[in-house]
Each structure stands twice: as structure tokens, then as C-alpha cells.
């Protein structure tokens, strides 16, 4: 046996939205694979609560917390610089469901929903894509939503934001297709989280945050581009997209 074992340094994942239930589960899943975790959140104390949880469970000191507000786009470059090493993977789970009716009346609220779901994540992932491309490799995972597949009366402000993100990721993937930088769009469907607490979700179409997380962690290998966490959603959204607009506009979905 060889006495000197080459120990490759732990890989690093940046989880943007480290306070969300899905973000927490993603961080835990990567911690389980031995990765180093960087949690980014606007509320660093709340993210530290999740970081301490992960450290306590693994008994290792491999999680750091970083302040980032996804609406403060001018901070993205300095934020990435102060991270030190460029992460191997970024998973962006930031999002805001908002209140559709309020968004219809209050343009500031609508703008916040759109910017949180689209502008912020898109510009941050663009900055990362640039750096990944320079380095030569990297995995970019953007958490979008089936709500972005077609605009509906009940949540089109959110849906439009997610549609923007989905389109952005698709373009980024297209641009980087001949590099080793991979771009994956994840559409979770319904997930049992604080975002959906109190809502009546359809059991078989609803995933646990841990299921979303293990699907995301599994993206490290393979070649998926667009992922519906529960397969049924791919079919459902295929049908929903196929409905002619003349019919769709009358539907209450």
C-alpha cells in the first residue's frame, strides 16, 4: 500500500438563501458529502442558526456564514471577492412569493418580488458564471419554479419573476454549453416549507425540503439541465403549457 494518500481538499458549495428551509436542507446534504459550506443570507444571525445546526450534527467545523442581500446588486463583486476561494458549486434558493393582490396595487411590492426572484439571482449567477468560466469549471444551480412555466392570475408577479430566471438560466446554459461550467434549473413543485406553511398542498405533488435537497446534491454527477423534483410536475406543466391561450385565459387554476 502507498503510505502517502493524496488528500484532495474538500469541495465548496455556496448556498445563497441560507435561511430558507430548502437552503438549509441543501447545505445539510452537501455537508453529508463532506463538502465545505458557505451560507449567504441577508440575516446572518438566522443563517448562523442553521450553520451551528449543521456543525453540531457533523461534529466538524466546515460551515461559514456570509452577509448578502440579493437586492443589493452592487455588492455582488465585493461579496464574491471576500469569499476567498471560488466555490465549486453555487445553489441559489433565494426567492419571494409575496402577495399577489398587494403586488397588483403596490408597485414597490411587485418590484421587490420580481427583483428577488429574477434580477438579484440572475445577476449574482452571471457574476459567478464569469468566474467559473475563467477558472474552467463549476456547477450553477438556480432554484426557479413551475409557477414560471405559465402566468396565472393567482401568482403571476412571482411567476413572471421565476419565468425571467428560468429564461436567464436557459440562456446561460446555452452560452456555456461547450465549457465545463454546467447550469441547472430546478423546479421543485410544491414544497413543505415556511413559504407554504398554512397552505393546502396536494400531498402526492408536494416534496419535503430534504427531497429537493438530495435531488440538487445528486446533480453533482449526471447531465440534467432542467429538473422537476417530482416527475409528475413535468407532465402536469407540459399539459398546462399546451393549453391554447384562448382557453387558458378563462381557466381558474
Ligand X SMILES: NC(=O)c1ccc[n+]([C@@H]2O[C@H](COP(=O)([O-])OP(=O)(O)OC[C@H]3O[C@@H](n4cnc5c(N)ncnc54)[C@H](OP(=O)(O)O)[C@@H]3O)[C@@H](O)[C@H]2O)c1
**Residues that bind ligand X in the complex, under the rule CB under 6 A:** 17, 19-23, 41-43, 46, 69-71, 93-96, 116, 143, 145, 188, 190-191, 193-196
Question: Minimum Å distance from CB 21 to another protein?
Answer: 9
Question: Minimum Å distance from CB 199 to another protein?
Answer: 13
Residue ranges that bind another protein, judged by CB under 8 A: 46, 49-50, 52-53, 55-57, 59, 194, 197
Question: Minimum Å distance from CB 50 to ligand X?
Answer: 10
DSSP class per residue in the chain: --S----PPPPEEEEESTTSHHHHHHHHHHHHTT-EEEEEES-HHHHHHHHHHHHHHHTS--EEEEE--TT-GGGHHHHHHHT-SPPSEEEE-------HHHHHH-HHHHHHHHIIIIIHHHHHHHHHHHHHHHHTEEEEEEE--GGGTS--TTTHHHHHHHHHHHHHHHHHHHHTTTSEEEEEEEE--EE-SGGGTTS---GGGEE-HHHHHHHHHHTTSS--SEEESSHHHHHHHHHHHHS-HHHHTT---
The residue (of 55 and 152) whose beta carbon lies closer to another protein is: 55
The residue (of 53 and 99) whose beta carbon lies closer to another protein is: 53
The residue (of 177 and 194) whose beta carbon lies closer to another protein is: 194
Question: Minimum Å distance from CB 174 to ligand X?
Answer: 22
Instruction: Answer with the entry of another protein, ligand X, none that 103 interacts with (C-beta below 5 to 8 A by kind).
Output: none
The residue (of 47 and 103) whose beta carbon lies closer to another protein is: 47
Instruction: Answer with the entry of another protein, ligand X, none that 102 interacts with (C-beta below 5 to 8 A by kind).
Output: none
Instruction: Answer with the entry of another protein, ligand X, none that 53 interacts with (C-beta below 5 to 8 A by kind).
Output: another protein
Residues with catalytic function: 158
The residue (of 185 and 193) whose beta carbon lies closer to ligand X is: 193
Of all residues in the shown chain, the one whose CB is closest to ligand X is 95
By DSSP bridging, strand 226-228 and strand 206-207 are: unpaired
Phi-psi region of 136 (alpha: psi -120 to 50; beta: other; left: phi over 0): left
Question: Minimum Å distance from CB 147 to ligand X?
Answer: 7
- 54-85 residues labelled b (16+ CB within 10 A) or e (exposed): beeeeeeebbbbbebebeeeeebeebbeebee
Instruction: Answer with the entry of another protein, ligand X, none that 43 interacts with (C-beta below 5 to 8 A by kind).
Output: ligand X
Instruction: Answer with the entry of ligand X, another protein, none that 37 interacts with (C-beta below 5 to 8 A by kind).
Output: none
Residue with cell 403596490: 106
Amino acid at each position: 500500500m502507498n503510505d502517502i494518500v493524496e488528500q484532495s481538499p474538500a469541495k465548496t458549495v455556496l448556498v445563497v438563501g441560507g435561511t430558507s428551509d430548502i437552503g438549509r436542507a441543501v447545505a445539510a446534504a452537501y455537508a453529508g458529502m463532506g463538502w465545505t459550506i458557505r451560507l449567504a443570507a441577508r440575516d446572518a444571525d438566522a443563517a448562523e442558526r442553521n450553520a451551528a445546526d449543521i456543525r453540531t450534527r457533523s461534529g466538524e467545523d466546515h460551515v461559514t456564514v456570509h452577509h448578502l442581500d440579493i437586492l443589493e446588486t452592487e455588492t455582488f463583486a465585493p461579496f464574491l471577492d471576500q469569499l476567498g476561494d471560488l466555490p465549486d458549486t453555487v445553489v441559489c434558493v433565494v426567492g419571494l412569493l409575496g402577495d399577489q393582490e398587494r403586488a397588483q396595487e403596490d408597485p414597490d411590492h411587485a418590484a421587490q418580488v420580481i427583483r428577488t426572484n429574477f434580477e438579484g439571482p440572475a445577476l449574482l449567477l452571471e457574476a459567478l458564471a464569469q468566474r467559473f468560466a475563467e477558472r474552467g469549471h463549476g456547477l450553477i444551480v438556480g432554484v426557479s419554479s413551475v409557477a414560471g412555466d405559465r402566468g396565472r392570475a393567482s401568482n403571476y408577479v412571482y411567476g413572471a419573476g421565476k419565468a425571467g430566471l428560468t429564461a436567464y438560466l436557459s440562456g446561460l446554459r446555452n452560452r456555456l454549453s461547450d465549457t465545463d461550467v454546467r447550469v441547472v434549473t430546478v423546479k421543485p413543485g410544491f414544497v413543505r416549507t415556511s413559504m407554504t406553511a398554512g397552505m393546502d398542498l396536494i400531498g402526492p405533488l408536494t416534496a419535503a425540503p430534504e427531497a429537493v435537497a438530495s435531488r440538487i446534491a445528486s446533480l453533482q454527477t449526471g447531465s440534467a439541465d432542467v429538473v422537476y423534483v417530482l416527475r409528475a410536475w413535468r407532465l402536469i406543466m407540459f399539459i398546462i403549457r399546451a393549453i391554447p391561450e384562448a382557453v387558458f385565459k378563462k381557466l381558474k387554476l
